[in-house]
């Protein structure tokens, strides 16, 4: 299995596109908040969206942050229900 830093920019861009599509299909609200800012959500037009995905894909730290953000978004159903729990 390839390490994440061995993934090509094109593979990373495609994964960001697929993550965005999945969040849309899951209908999670965080797609329009944290994913928009950290994960590479859709921009004003297709060219701007692709440019943003490319910017993220070219930077290991930004890409890893996007993956972490995606994970948080997919867990929204579980994390938000416990948001007010005090530990």
Q: Quick one: which of 74, 68, 72, 45 has its CA closest to 56?
A: 68
For residue 86, tell me if it sits in a domain: no
**Predicted confidence pLDDT, tens digits, the chain (87 residues):** 778 888 999 999 999 999 999 999 999 888 988 999 888 888 889 999 999 999 999 999 999 999 999 998 998 877 665 555 455
The phi, psi pair for 84, rounded to 5°, reads -95, 5
For residue 25, tell me if it sits in a domain: yes
Tally of structural domains, the chain: 1
Domain boundaries, position 20:
10-80
This model's pTM is above 0.95: no
Predicted pLDDT of residue 39: 82
For residue 36, tell me if it sits in a domain: yes
For residue 2, tell me if it sits in a domain: no
Predicted pLDDT of residue 79: 67
């Amino acid at each position: 299995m390839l390490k994440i830093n061995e993934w090509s920019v094109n593979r990373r861009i495609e994964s960001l596109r697929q993550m965005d599509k999945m969040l849309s299909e899951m209908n999670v609200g965080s797609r329009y908040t944290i994913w928009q800012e950290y994960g590479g959500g859709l921009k004003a037009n297709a060219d701007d969206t692709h440019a943003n995905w490319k910017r993220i894909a070219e930077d290991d730290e930004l890409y890893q942050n996007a993956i972490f953000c995606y994970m948080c978004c997919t867990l929204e159903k579980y994390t938000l229900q416990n948001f007010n729990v005090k530990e």
